[in-house]
Amino acid sequence: MNNSKLVKLSVFCLVCLLVIFSLSSSFAQGSPAAEGRRLFYQGNSDYKEAKYEAAIDNYSKVLSLGVESGNLYYNLGNSYFKKGELGRAILNYEKALILTPNDSDLKSNYEYVLTLLNLGPQSFGNWPEKAANKLFQDVTVDFLTVLLSLIYILAFIALISSLFFAQAKMMIKVFLMILSVVFIVSFISLNSKVAYLNKGAVVVSKEALVKFEPQEEATIYFKLTEGSKVEVLENTENWFKIKRLDGKIGWIDKSNLGLILDLQK
Amino acid sequence: MVEMQDTRHKPHGTSLIPGIKTLVLSFGLVFCVLNSTHTCLAKNINFEATVDRNKIGLGQSLQLDLTFDGSQNMPIPELPAIEGFQARYLGPSTRMSIINGQASSSITYVYTLLPTKVGAFKIGPFRLEYNGNTYNSNSIEIEVLAEATQAQNQSSQETLPQAKDLNDRIYLTLQLKKNKVYLNEVVPITIKLYVNKLGVRDIQLPQFNHDGFSIGEFGMPRQYQEVIGGINYEVIEFENMIFGLRPGEFFLGPATIQCNLMVRRQANRQSASSFDDLFNSDVFDNFFGGYQAYPMNLKSANIPVTVLPLPVQDKPESFSGALGVFDFQASVNPQEVKVGDPLTLKAVISGQGNFNTVNLPNLSLGSDFKIYAPQVKQDKDAKTFEEVLIPLNVSLKEIPVMSFSFLNTQTGLYETITRGPFPINILKPDKAEELKITEAKLSTRALTKEEKLGRDIIYIKDSPGELSKKQEYLYKNKVFLGFQAIPLLFYLLITVVYARSRKLANDVKYARQLLAPRKAKAGILRAKGLLEKGNTGEFYDTLFEVLQEYLGNRFHLSSKGITISIIDEQLKSRNIPEEILVKLRSIFSECDMVRYAASQLTRENMQEALKNLEEAIDYLQRNRI
């Protein structure tokens, strides 16, 4: 088999790959939930009439249909804010930030509520994770996943190209090194975002007592204020084992926390 | 006699340590036997309640044992509310003995009872219903004395009486200076923990319900002694400030405090050995403190509070929200300046109230002065404003009056304090200074243009956006993840194909070996055709060519130079069976023969030669020779 045939075969396979992938993506989109839209607009009407309890009820019903969107969590956060439940407002803004991280209205409201709660920016992880997240703070988990996949495919294209274009080997090596750096940084950020998605939680009560043991009568270790972010390490029947941003670990009654990942999907 | 006793209190959910696990397995059989015995004797179970002593002082605790003799399978009895005591479950204790082959076992549920008042009390009988049987224990009479430490406190008891109820010996109060407050009026709130001759440790900061109010931070608590009704109390006082956020009727409190009450531990006198006696002795009790912590959650009563709206009647124009009882002083310094030189207006508002709502009184200076934003300093009892004014006009003679209005929270009336006018003498500036004033005027104008923006959340979104399936992310999508294998497989395929084509192009020996069977197959087909036609000469020529080419390619030799002697030499070194060599020699000799005596070779000879060639090639291919 000569080189030109191999190049043609490579191009054909890549085209097939892209077609299959785009088809699978379109299948994965799913159909928009008409009922969810109806409830959303009903929630908006309630909000406009200052019926925040009813608005929350309608927005929550949309979530119970098994669908979600950044705007839905945003409106839910606004409703909780108006109701005076700032912790739950923060929780819903956090959920919205995962889906629509570059929404300027959302960022503004989130920062404002944090200010009211006397809280600053709260971020988990070690310094490489924080640095990577800073670079990719405005992108979604899905975007990072696709980016990683594209880098991975590009790397193989570069490797295959190096077989046929010997004179461009040095250039391809440099390109592969750049790709590797972008891949590592993207992977760290994705890993950190997924970890937060699965383990992140927000204090929704005015004040939460964190104890040394998962028992009512256990000694209080420290207190958490409304809107504080924590990492959930363990989950028992009535208690969560949590880690604060400074690394302190304790047990907290479940009623005090709202999880980023809704367990009742 | 075999006797085993396990007096450890095992909390629920604790796993067995390995040593105990081994012990349990070793005696498993014995337990089975005993369990069957228990079942048989279920109706002979004796339920007994015992205490370690019948007379105790308030502030001490006693141990209550509920023992089921005859079985270890009895559940924990639900302890009813016992008058005069607070009960706390410590854990189970089991006991088993085999005497002369007779097994007996028991389980004891251990509680600590803390008396809450003085008097004689009867506890029990306790009752448990289990498996259709009802078990009733005996009752016990206990006397609770007022004295905690009996004789040694005799003298102190004579001088000061003691509270007879635990709730009188440790309690919490919530106090507010007044029950009717105005909106935003700051009122001190006091939470006091009273303790009479009890050891209390690990006192947490108090908490209280303050719906409708804003609260500050608790400072360091104050500790002092106070005599109430002739009883001397240690008082721990927490202070804070609150103010109402909206008008209405509210309840403040109840306040709660968590702490540990240190109760004197009672030595267990049941142990028979001297070893146990040693470690249960008072010496060790005293060394390790001899007390156990009893967690308490103290709760005060709540206080009804009315938050009044600010009165509308007689509200002065200069009122800007100040509430309390204030005094207002103002001064200007220096009183004589040149145009463009600064003078300072100092206003001090002192008194008691919510200083957060106190602002600098308005001053109508028009365009005759350049005014800078005031410097504000706030202390506990005063707020000071220092405002820099730059006169721009020589004709100015005074700074006009300033009025400060506030709602007097004691009288409920608005009051206004007026200070001024303040006489000033403005002098003409030097020429050079005039230029400076003009520059200053320009630069300060820019400062005053700063706009204060309001702050609130941005309104809701009109559209829900793209409603996608909840928590479905691409990184969890199995189809997507499956696709990630395709580029890798594709790369491997390309690499293998590329490597093969490169080898074929560069490695002649490999290429000849690879092509040898294909070419031989084509030659054999050609020979078969010639066989069918009966063309003996061409058939053997083709056969010879095929054999020469195949062997030449196979062993990377020149095809034209292949003779039977070379074949013998090449194949013998490769341990080819003699049978194959014979076949090859036969083909070569027939090919030679056809040149001289073609008529002697029959069709059968040709078929045999073709068959021999196929078998020889097949053998060499299969055995990769």
pLDDT at residue number B598:
67
How close B242 comes to chain A (CA, Å)? 17
Residue B538 near residue B530, CB atoms below 8 Å? yes
Cβ of B471 within 8 Å of Cβ of A261? The answer is: yes
pLDDT at A239: 94
Q: Give the residue from chain A lying closest to B456, CA to CA.
A: A112
CA distances from A157 to A13, A187, B150, B552 (A): 11, 20, 91, 41
Distance from CA of A166 to the nearest CA of B (A): 13
CA A189 to chain centre: 11
What are the helix (H) ranges across B534-602? 536-554, 564-572, 578-596
Q: Percentages helix, strand, coil for chain B, rounded to the nearest 5?
A: 30, 35, 30
Probe site for chain A from B90, B468, B472, B476 (most A CB atoms < 10 A): B468
Q: Which amino acid is at B151?
A: A
Distance from C-alpha of A255 to C-alpha of A208, rounded to nearest angstrom: 9
Task: Name residues whose C-beta falls within 8 Å of residue B245's C-beta, 6 or more positions apart in sequence.
Answer: B183, B212, B213, B214, B307
Residue B445 has pLDDT above 80, yes or no: no
Which chain B residue lies closest to A25 (C-alpha atoms)?
A: B480
Q: What is the pLDDT of residue A20?
A: 62
Place of tokens 């030659």: B523
Sign of CA dihedral B284, B289, B293, B298: positive
Between B362 and A30, residue with greater pLDDT: B362
pLDDT in tens, B254-288: 889 888 887 766 544 444 444 444 444 444 444 44
pLDDT at residue number B490: 93
What is the SS3 assignment for B150-210? HHHHHHHHHHCCCCCEHHHHEEEEEEECCCEEEECCEEEEEEEEEECCCEEECCCCCEECC
Chain A, window 156-185: residues with a beta carbon less than 8 angstroms from a chain B beta carbon: 156, 159-160, 163-164
* Spatial separation of the C-alpha atoms in residues B539 and B602, rounded to whole Å: 12
CB contact A265 to B (< 8 Å): yes
Write down the pLDDT at residue B271: 41
Confidence of residue A265 (pLDDT cuts 50, 70, 90): very low
User: Using a CB cutoff of 8 Å and minimum separation of 24, what contacts does B129-134 make?
Assistant: B130/B74, B130/B75, B131/B42, B133/B42, B133/B43, B133/B45
Cα dihedral: B230, B232, B236, B240 (round 10): 20
Please give the share of chain B, as a percent, with pLDDT higher than 90.
5
C-alpha radius of gyration, chain A, whole number: 23
Residue A170 burial (CB < 10 Å; 0-12/13-18/19+)?
Answer: exposed
| pLDDT at position B117 over 60 | yes
Rounded CA-CA distance A20/B8 in Å is 66
CA dist A206 and B387 (Å) reads 40
Place of tokens 């909106």: B183
pLDDT tens sequence across B465-482: 988 888 888 998 999 999
Under CATH, which number does the domain B316-448 receive? 2.60.40.10
Report the largest interatomic distance among the alpha carbons of chain A, rounded to a whole angstrom: 78
Q: Return all residues near B522 (Cβ < 8 A) that are at least 6 apart.
A: none
State mean pLDDT over A156-177.
Answer: 90
CATH (residue range B2-145): 2.60.40
At CA B31, angle to CA B29 and CA B33, rounded to 5? 75
The whole-angstrom separation of Cα B550 and Cα B555 is: 8
pLDDT value, residue B282: 44
**Both structure tokens of B536:** 């003996």
Tell me which of 1.20.120, 1.10.287, 2.60.40, 1.10.3470 is the CATH number of domain B506-622.
Answer: 1.20.120
Of all residues in chain B, the one with the smallest CA distance to A37 is: B464
pLDDT digits (tens, 9 = 90+) for B10-44: 333 333 334 444 444 444 433 333 444 343 344 57
- Nearest one of A123, A114, A78, A13 to B457, comparing CA atoms: A78
Enumerate the residues of chain A whose CB falls inside 8 A of the CB of residue B499: none
B543 half-sphere exposure, CB direction, 13 A CA radius: 33
From the CA of A156, how many Å to the nearest CA of chain B?
Answer: 6
Is A27's pLDDT higher than 50?
no
- Tell whether the model's pLDDT for residue B347 goes beyond 80: yes
Which CA distances in Å does B528 have to B418, B516, B520, B535, B599?
132, 18, 12, 10, 19
Residue B366 CA to residue B586 CA, distance in Å, equals 132
Q: Is the pLDDT of residue B319 over 60?
A: yes
Tokens of B562: 């292949």
**Residue B10 pLDDT:** 37
Distance from the B261 Cα atom to the nearest Cα atom in chain A, whole angstroms:
13
Dig out the tokens for B48 from the structure: 């007994």
Report how far residue B531's alpha carbon sits from residue A242's, in angstroms, rounded to the nearest whole number: 89
CATH classification of B166-305, choosing from 2.30.30, 1.10.8, 2.60.40, 3.40.50? 2.60.40
The reported pTM is 0.44
What is the overall mean pLDDT for chain B?
Answer: 77
pLDDT (mean) for A7-33: 59
Domains B166-305 and B506-622 share a fold: no
Give the per-residue pLDDT at A21. 55
Is the predicted pLDDT of residue A31 greater than 90, yes or no?
A: no
Q: Any chain B CB within 8 A of the CB of A70?
A: yes
Residue pair B472/A17 in contact (Cβ under 8 Å)? The answer is no
Per-residue pLDDT, B12:
38
- Using left for φ > 0, alpha for ψ between -120 and 50, and beta otherwise, residue B372 falls in beta
- From A66, A64, A65, A88, select the one nearest A76 (Cα to Cα): A88
User: 3-class secondary structure for B308-361?
Assistant: ECCCCCCCCCCEEEEEEEEEEEEEEECCEEECCCCEEEEEEEEEEECHHHCCCC
Hey, which bits of B230-281 come out as E strands?
Answer: 231-244, 248-252, 255-264
Instruction: Answer whether A69 sits within 8 Å of B498, measured CB to CB.
Output: no
Which two three-digit tokens encode residue B92?
A: 């189970």
Choose between A231 and A262: higher pLDDT. A231
Per-residue pLDDT at B132: 81
d(C-alpha B319, C-alpha A2), whole Å: 94
Kindly report, residue by residue over B505-525, the tens digit of the pLDDT: 888 888 888 888 989 999 999
CA distance B423 to B400: 9
Residue B172 tokens read as 């919490």
Token pair for A115? 């200010």
Strand-pair partners of B402: B419
Measured from the Cβ of residue B547, the count of other Cβ atoms closer than 10 Å reads 24
* pLDDT tens string B54-84: 888 877 788 888 888 887 778 888 888 888 8
Contacts of B460 in chain A (CB under 8 A): 44, 47, 74-75, 78-79
Hey, which residues 221-260 in chain A have their CB within 8 Å of chain B? none
- The domains of chain B are located at 2-145, 166-305, 316-448, 506-622
Q: How many CB atoms lie within 10 A of CB B570?
A: 16
Number of residue pairs across A and B with CB atoms under 8 Å? 132
Is B223 or A57 the better-scoring residue by pLDDT? A57
Give, as one character, the DSSP assignment of residue A216.
Answer: T
Report the alpha-carbon distance of residue B600 to residue B524 in Å, rounded: 22
pLDDT digits (tens, 9 = 90+) for A93-133: 999 999 999 999 999 999 999 999 988 888 778 888 888 98
Q: Are B365 and B417 in contact (CB under 8 A)?
A: no
Is residue A53 within 8 A of residue B488, CB to CB? The reply is no
Residue with tokens 């990683």: A148
How far B450 CA sits from the closest chain A CA (Å)?
21
Handedness of CA B459, B460, B465, B470 (dihedral sign): positive
As a whole number, the mean pLDDT across chain A is: 87
Buried b (16+ CB within 10 A) or exposed e, B35-49: eeebeeeeeebebbb
For chain A, what percent of residues have pLDDT higher than 70? 87
Instruction: Provide the pLDDT for residue B155.
Output: 41
- Higher per-residue confidence, A258 vs B156: A258
d(CA A65, CA B385): 59
Is the CB of B494 less than 8 angstroms away from the CB of A6? yes
The span from the CA of B238 to the CA of A123, in Å, is: 35
Residue B262, Cβ neighbours under 10 Å: how many?
A: 18
CB B324 within 8 A of CB B186: yes
CA distances, A131 to each of A126, A136, A189 (Å): 9, 9, 8
